[in-house]
C-alpha cells in the first residue's frame, strides 16, 4: 500500500447544464495532473446542479448514458488520474416517469474504468425556520448500499453530503478498515456556518481517518447558494486544507496515510466498543 497520496480537492459552482460543468472538470483534471496529483475529488452535484423538475427531466439520463460520467472517465484515462466524481443526478430505478433520480457518485480508476459506485443513502429533508422545506426525497430516491472501495492508498468509504449527519455509517466504514472517508457536498449557507467544520472534524476524530470534503460554493443558476469551505481533515482532527466560501478553485495536498495508523494506535476507540443493553427508566407518577 502506498504511504502518500497527492490529492486535489475541487470546489465548484456547478451550473444547470452538463456542458459547463464538463469543461470545468476537464480543466481541473489537467491542472491537477500537471501538479502531480494522483486523485481529483469533485463535490456533490458536480455534473448537474438543478432543482427545476421539468428541466431536470429533460437532461437527466441513465448512468450508462450520462455525459458528465463519460467525460470524467475520459479525463481519468487521459491524465492517468483517479477521479471521484462527487455526484451527479442519474435516472433512478423508477425512471423519469417516477420523477425521482439517484444522487450518484463514481470512483474512476486511471484506466477510465469505474472502480466503485455509490448512491446517496440519506436524503436532505430538513425544515429550517423561515425557509421552505428542502424536500430532496421528492426529487431523489435513496440508495441502500454503503460502498468501500480499495485504492492503492487503502480503503475509501463513500458518502455524500447529508450522510455526514449519520455517524454510524462512518463508523461502519472505519470498522471495516477505511482510511479515507469522502464527503462530497453542497451544504446550504446556514447549515454550513453552523455545522460543517464541526461535523467533518468529529467524523475524522471519531474514526481516526482522513475526511475529504469537496464542496459547492456560491450562487448557482438554479437559485440556491452553497457554503463552500472545501476541507481536508486529518485523523487527529486537524484541518490540513480549506478553501474559501466565495470562489471555485482547487487545493492540492499530500496525505500521509501513516497518520491513520498512528491515530488509531494512540486512541484505539475502534477496538474499545462494548455491547450494552438499553434501559429507559420512566419517572413514576407522584402520589396523589
Question: Is 131 among the residues known to form the active site?
Answer: no
**Residue 108 included in any domain:** yes
**Residue 68 included in any domain:** yes
**Residue 101 included in any domain:** yes
Tell me the mean pLDDT in the region 182-204. Answer: 97
| Selection from 1, 23, 22, 25 nearest residue 11 by Cα | 25
Question: Which of the residues 49, 72, 120, 259 is marked catalytic?
Answer: 120
Q: What pLDDT band is residue 287 in, cutting at 50, 70 and 90?
A: low
**Residue 230 included in any domain:** yes
In this structure, are residues 67 and 25 in contact, taking their beta carbons and an 8 Å threshold?
no
**Residue 115 included in any domain:** yes
Domain range for 212 is 4-269
| Selection from 257, 161, 250 nearest residue 210 by Cα | 257
Question: Which of the residues 44, 136, 242, 259 is marked catalytic?
Answer: 44
H or E element, residue 159: none
Question: Is 44 among the residues known to form the active site?
Answer: yes
Q: What pLDDT band is residue 283 in, cutting at 50, 70 and 90?
A: confident
Question: Which of the residues 49, 136, 161, 242 is marked catalytic?
Answer: 161
**Residue 225 included in any domain:** yes
Tell me the mean pLDDT in the region 265-272. Answer: 97
Summarize pLDDT for 120-145 with one digit per residue, the tens.
Answer: 999 988 676 766 556 788 889 999 99
Q: For residues 283 and 21, which has the higher predicted lDDT (pLDDT)?
A: 21
Domain count along the chain: 1
- pLDDT given at position 1: 83
In this structure, are residues 51 and 19 in contact, taking their beta carbons and an 8 Å threshold?
no
Q: What pLDDT band is residue 288 in, cutting at 50, 70 and 90?
A: low
| Selection from 147, 174, 149 nearest residue 235 by Cα | 174
Write the CATH number for 164: 3.60.110.10
**Residue 223 included in any domain:** yes
**Residue 282 included in any domain:** no
- pLDDT given at position 10: 98
Amino acid at each position: 500500500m502506498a504511504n502518500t497520496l497527492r490529492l486535489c480537492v475541487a470546489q465548484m459552482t456547478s451550473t444547470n447544464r452538463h456542458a459547463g460543468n464538463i469543461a470545468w472538470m476537464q480543466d481541473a483534471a489537467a491542472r491537477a495532473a500537471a501538479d502531480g496529483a494522483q486523485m481529483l475529488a469533485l463535490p456533490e452535484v458536480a455534473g448537474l446542479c438543478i432543482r427545476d423538475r421539468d428541466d431536470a427531466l429533460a437532461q437527466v439520463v441513465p448512468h450508462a448514458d450520462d455525459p458528465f460520467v463519460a467525460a470524467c472517465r475520459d479525463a481519468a484515462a487521459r491524465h492517468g488520474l483517479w477521479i471521484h466524481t462527487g455526484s451527479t443526478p442519474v435516472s433512478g430505478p423508477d425512471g423519469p416517469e417516477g420523477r425521482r433520480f439517484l444522487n450518484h457518485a463514481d470512483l474512476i480508476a486511471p484506466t477510465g474504468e469505474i472502480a466503485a459506485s455509490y448512491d446517496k443513502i440519506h436524503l436532505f429533508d430538513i425544515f429550517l425556520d423561515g425557509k421552505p422545506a428542502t424536500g430532496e426525497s421528492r426529487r431523489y430516491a435513496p440508495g441502500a448500499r454503503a460502498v468501500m472501495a480499495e485504492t492503492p492508498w487503502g480503503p475509501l468509504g463513500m458518502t455524500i453530503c447529508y450522510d455526514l449527519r449519520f455517524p454510524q455509517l462512518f463508523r461502519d466504514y472505519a470498522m471495516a478498515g477505511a482510511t479515507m472517508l469522502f464527503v462530497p457536498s453542497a451544504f446550504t449557507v446556514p447549515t454550513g456556518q453552523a455545522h460543517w467544520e464541526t461535523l467533518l472534524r468529529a467524523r475524522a476524530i471519531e474514526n481516526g481517518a482522513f475526511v475529504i470534503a469537496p464542496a459547492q460554493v456560491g450562487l448557482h443558476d438554479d437559485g440556491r447558494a452553497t457554503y463552500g469551505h472545501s476541507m481536508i481533515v486529518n485523523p487527529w482532527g486537524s484541518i490540513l486544507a480549506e478553501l474559501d466560501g466565495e470562489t471555485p478553485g482547487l487545493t492540492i495536498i499530500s496525505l500521509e496515510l501513516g497518520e491513520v495508523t498512528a491515530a488509531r494506535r494512540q486512541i484505539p476507540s475502534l477496538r474499545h466498543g462494548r455491547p450494552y443493553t438499553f434501559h429507559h427508566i420512566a419517572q413514576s407518577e407522584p402520589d396523589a
